[in-house]
A and B are shown apart, each in its own frame.
Chain A
């Protein structure tokens, strides 16, 4: 006979696994620190690429001036400015990623905790069923 309580529970679990749970379960394989670090790394790569593109655009924009003044430019000063700006941008993104992805991870973990609790409930139902079956067999 179909156990309605069990079906209801399994349906909820299946829906969760199919929708938002997909991401949560994937994320659940990481420790919090590893996950946040991975995301920070992604951020650094993306920001570095973006920064160099912007830098290239700025250089192209100022090309005429740069060529005209190529001899008397303060290259060290420019390098310092470019590096300084880069460090500031990366720091901002890393900090934001640390906070943002940390919050996201905790949020996802909470949902996953519920999921595991439901799984445990399901297991106890199975045990209950098996116990009842065992009793019936003993009677026979």
Chain B
């Protein structure tokens, strides 16, 4: 019990720290992520030494730190295309077309989980792509399947491009068709791509379904279940389809990812409830500059199942209707309620 108390204290400290330095920590965090992304791309596709300089990477990361995820994804895509272009304009054109198709059919639906499109290929390099489905299974909706699958496809596209770039004839126009056919063939030869995408999709979907149920330790069970599905899926694929996924590194990667998700889940309350909002508004008498600090609710961490029987009456605190409404008001939490019959017109100001 002592360890748990210590951990809870530590979490409280982390939360206060985040609240205090949020304005600094967030950009720094995004800077590190952006730098990691650009550096990985430059290492994996090191065809243009000019672009691959640390100065440019740092400058790009500095820009990426202050811009929304969409721009970061776009910058990553442009950098990758530029690198491939230095090796072979033909391959670069092919990458552009594949990106366009991917965007039209899948990546368009990424929404707020767009980071996954970049995170999956990068984590593949570190042999840890399992982290993304396990994490998104805990926090996201099934819509997160789209960016995750896009990320998997992008990783394998670049893997094939890397292989193709070692060929001799990649710059001659005469060999364009042969090169193209070769790239497509080897892309479809990578069965791991389809299997990985499918397993990740199943993991996210199942975790989302289980997470919404109501029983004790539901979050912990969901994470373990996601990891088990992942491991079993890849083991089964290894046996049945004769594909090449290193079993040892897969299991190790999944277990480490699972542990990281456990840590993330424990600290989730820090991230979810630390976002201090600074808002400005006015009325007839004053200008208001409000710093709104969310109150923490430890009960949010764990779903508790309580059963009420009919003959027990719960004493309830009496609140006036207006106060009750103010107390209850939370857009996200209460959105699944049935709305009252109301006219929603623009003139209701």
Residues of A within 8 A of B (CB): 2, 5-16, 18-21, 28-29, 46-47, 49-51, 53-54, 56-57, 60-61, 63-64, 107, 109-121, 123-124
Whether B24 sits at the interface, judged by CB under 8 Å, is: no
- Per-residue contact bits, chain B 92-114, to A (CB 8 Å; 1 contact, 0 not): 00000100110111001000000
Whether B311 sits at the interface, judged by CB under 8 Å, is: no
> When the two chains form their complex, are residues B339 and A110 in contact, meaning their CB atoms are under 8 A apart?
yes
- Kindly identify, within residues 163 to 207 of chain B, every residue whose CB is under 8 Å from any CB belonging to chain A: 177, 180-181, 184
Q: Which residues of B contact A115 (CB under 8 A)?
A: 331
Q: Which residues of B contact A51 (CB under 8 A)?
A: 104
Shortest Cβ distance from A42 into B: residue: B108
The answer to whether A121 and B325 touch (CB under 8 A), given A14-B280, A15-B279, A63-B177, is yes
Q: What 5 additional pairs, Cβ within 8 angstroms, besides A50-B105, A51-B104, A117-B342?
A: A60-B177, A64-B177, A111-B332, A113-B339, A113-B340
The answer to whether A20 and B344 touch (CB under 8 A), given A10-B283, A11-B290, A50-B104, is no
| A10 smallest CB distance to B (angstroms) | 5
Which of A6, A64, A107, A120 sits near B348, CB closer than 8 Å? A120
Residues of B within 8 A of A (CB): 97, 100-101, 103-105, 108, 177, 180-181, 184, 277, 279-281, 283, 286, 288, 290, 292, 322, 325-326, 329, 331-332, 334-337, 339-340, 342, 344, 346, 348-349
Which of A5, A20, A47 sits near B104, CB closer than 8 Å? A47
| B283 smallest CB distance to A (angstroms) | 7
> When the two chains form their complex, are residues B101 and A53 in contact, meaning their CB atoms are under 8 A apart?
yes
A-B pairs, 3 with minimum CB distance: A50-B104, A14-B279, A113-B339
Q: Which residues of A contact B329 (CB under 8 A)?
A: 12, 114, 118
Q: Which residues of B contact A112 (CB under 8 A)?
A: 344
> When the two chains form their complex, are residues B348 and A2 in contact, meaning their CB atoms are under 8 A apart?
no
Shortest Cβ distance from B181 into A: residue: A61
Q: Which residues of B contact A121 (CB under 8 A)?
A: 322, 325-326
| B178 smallest CB distance to A (angstroms) | 10
> When the two chains form their complex, are residues B335 and A7 in contact, meaning their CB atoms are under 8 A apart?
no
> When the two chains form their complex, are residues A14 and B281 in contact, meaning their CB atoms are under 8 A apart?
yes
Shortest Cβ distance from B275 into A: residue: A19
| B293 smallest CB distance to A (angstroms) | 11
Q: State in angstroms the CA–CA spacing of A125 and B211 once bound together.
A: 40
> When the two chains form their complex, are residues A54 and B101 in contact, meaning their CB atoms are under 8 A apart?
yes
| B139 smallest CB distance to A (angstroms) | 16
Which of A15, A19, A49, A111 sits near B100, CB closer than 8 Å? A49
Q: Which residues of B contact A19 (CB under 8 A)?
A: 277
Shortest Cβ distance from B291 into A: residue: A11
The answer to whether A9 and B326 touch (CB under 8 A), given A16-B331, A53-B97, A116-B342, is yes
The answer to whether A21 and B342 touch (CB under 8 A), given A10-B288, A53-B104, A121-B322, is no
The answer to whether A49 and B104 touch (CB under 8 A), given A8-B326, A15-B279, A119-B349, is yes
Q: Which residues of B contact A63 (CB under 8 A)?
A: 177
